[in-house]
Amino acid sequence: MKRYYKILITLLLVVSVLVGFQFKNNNDPEKDRVLIGLLRYVLTNGHYQPQNIDDKFSIQVFNSFIEGLDPAKRFFTQADIDEFSKYKTQIDDEIKVENISFYNLVQDRLMQRMQESKGYYREILDQAFNFNTDETIDVDFEKQSYAANQNELINIWKKQLKHSTLVRLHEKLEEEINKKSKDSLYVVKSFDVLEKESRESTLKNLNEYFDFMDELDHTDWFSNYINSIAETFDPHTSYLAPKIKKRFDISMAGKLEGIGAILQKRNDYTKVVEIVSGGPAWRAGELEVGDIILKVAQGDQEPLDIVGMRLDDAIEFIKGKKGTEARLTIKKIDGTIKVISIIRDIVEIEETFVKSTTVNYNGKLYGLINLPKFYIDFEEKASRNSAIDMAKEIERLKQENVEGFIIDLRDNGGGSLETAIDIAGLFITEGPIVQVKYRGEEPMIKNDTDKKIFWNGSLVVLVNELSASASEIFAAAMQDYKRAVIIGSKQTFGKGTVQNLLPLNNYYRYNDDLGALKITIQKYYRINGGSVQLNGVVSDVALPDRYTYMEFGERDQKNPLTWDSIKEAKYLPWNNYENLNDVIIKSNHRVSQNETFKLIDENAKWLKKTQDDTKVSLKYDIFKASVESHQEKAKKFESISKYKSNLNFASPKYELPLIASDSTLSKKRAVWHQNLSKDIYVEEALQVLSELKIKKQLLVKN
């Protein structure tokens, strides 16, 4: 089913649990008017591809705003939607005259409906559920219609609360079985007792959410409306309210105590979208991109259910002081439920720096350089820079006589365009790397002008679906120059745009903080003229992974900019491999015959099928059988995670004294090397690297 993702720093208000909310009215009509006017001005004049603020635009804003407020369709009735619909083609007119009548109508009705729902859920949860009736629920709420009347609305609540309680009940029943297996004298609680406990947990969860939402004020709610307007331009354009901007600034400062994961809201769920390299979650190795966090426990305390919780609130429970334990109940992308433990630590910018390792493969020594981010400090030029660090790492490994390099850009979401150009220049003499284009202007060609080549030997670049932006610029340049073999997912993320953060007080003098607008201002293109927008960089050797068939990347975002192309830049392909095409053909054939890759591809298809199956039985016996069947099928793919090569990775010689004196660094490197030894993608990259042959006359001293 199609789900659209919002960026972490956007304020997403999941009101499907906001029952009995007392709205804090810090309404400032003048500020609202100013924000709408500024938003229209900056977006229409500064956005790379501005939308016409017309009836079509109005309909998009209408749908986005309504869906965002009531994703589970348990507040608004069809009569409400019909009443709102008189504004469906008028929002554009309101924006032009800085009117917010549509917002006021919807917001007031939401407050009314939430107050009414307070009685619904309490009354429903006061009575035992009958889990013997043959009943189903479709958890893809986008497919559902709005309730025709109040009775239908109450039935929606009943089904959703019954489902929530059923999930908890099953977990409790499984826990009782486990306790009995460990202690034969343990007296197992009855089904009825556990059913009541499960309803009480559901009720407690809703009441707690109500407390959290009590902190919301007019600024929070109005930000949601403004973002419905901003994000209609493209998925990377968004409004940051003052307090969200403050949190964003703190997160960019370098240190944050927590588990080391970046989270997003997906309807009622908190989803992991990135694991910070070197952080606590990364070191523990159990939390993965795509996992959904269901519950959070502080050490041995009772876990708190965060399903439906506002993202900001969920994060408050997940993060914490260094040394404390976060016990997370997570739902894996294969549907299995697992409890994992992560010891919180300080997540530092240090973890985003270049690091390298060496490995013997088929009798030859190769280097692997991992670059989690294209980093640079524009304010402090003397601080670390990814291009300078990459050059140093290459020089150090050359001293150990490596015969080829793998540049690992998996999960690298981008960063500095400048450093991406400089790093590409380490592998070619000189020439264009990327083309950048402002709206209505001719493209600017960004060149590497340094003729020095830091590495003139074999090169492989590893990518995946999370390799984005600057990663795609580098990978595309290496592919266009025929300088490296690109190995990884079928295609990279596909983000071919550049954003800028604009403080709105710079455009209008106002005695209060107006927040900021993150806005798309440029598009970038490959030197061959094609854009990476939507299409990403297509790997020379496409390796199946668990995300292959899922909706992932820019193409699956809401309102992405379109793909296009411009004139090709003048450049000379490197063309110094004797056997580049043959190696690529052999690798693709080898992958197609590899039993582990076949199993990974089968797993990916199964995961997609599981994701698309959104109907759930509310009859306990059927639900239980479905869960057990799913778990049994998942066992077929357990060997994928247990895969291990016979490769031994080692830190470069220059790093050995540092490891000897720093136990934390030693542990980090040990975990990394262990993970690499289980990485079939790295193993295939090494095989490709070992087969590449450089034309003899070009074997210069490196």
Q: Which positions are annotated as active-site residues?
A: 469, 480, 495
Adjacent-strand bridge partners of 462: 408, 487
Adjacent-strand bridge partners of 368: 357, 406
Contacts of 375 (CB under 8 A, 6+ apart): 349, 352, 353, 384, 385, 386, 415, 416, 419
Q: Which residues of 481-496 are buried (b: 16+ CB within 10 A; e: fewer)?
A: bebbbbbbbbbbbbbb
CA–CA distance, 172 with 151 (Å, rounded to integer): 31
CA–CA distance, 280 with 258 (Å, rounded to integer): 8
Q: To 10 degrees, the CA torsion angle through 298, 302, 306, 309?
A: -90
CA–CA distance, 543 with 547 (Å, rounded to integer): 11
Report residue 605 CA to chain centroid gap. Answer: 21
Please list the alpha-helical segments (H only) found in 269-384: 280-284, 311-318
Angle, CA of 560, 563 and 564, to the nearest 5°: 140
Adjacent-strand bridge partners of 8: none
236 sits in which H/E element: none
Question: Pick from 484, 432, 430, 479: which is nearest to 457 by CA?
Answer: 484
Q: 53: which 2 tokens?
A: 């603020």
CA–CA distance, 146 with 79 (Å, rounded to integer): 9
The phi, psi pair for 528, rounded to 5°, reads: -85, 0
C-alpha distance from residue 383 to each of 350, 353, 386, 414, 523 (Å)? 12, 12, 10, 19, 28
Helices and strands (H and E) in the chain: how many: 21, 22
Q: 266: which 2 tokens?
A: 């997906």
Rg, C-alpha atoms of the chain: 27
The phi, psi pair for 606, rounded to 5°, reads: -65, -40
The phi, psi pair for 367, rounded to 5°, reads: -115, 140
Are 201 and 169 a contacting pair, CB within 8 Å?
A: no
Q: 448: which 2 tokens?
A: 């590497």
Are 153 and 70 a contacting pair, CB within 8 Å?
A: no
Q: Which residue has the tokens 């197992």?
A: 188
Number of other CB atoms surrounding residue 56 within 10 Å:
12
Contacts of 157 (CB under 8 A, 6+ apart): 74, 117, 120, 121, 124
Eight-state DSSP code of residue 354: -
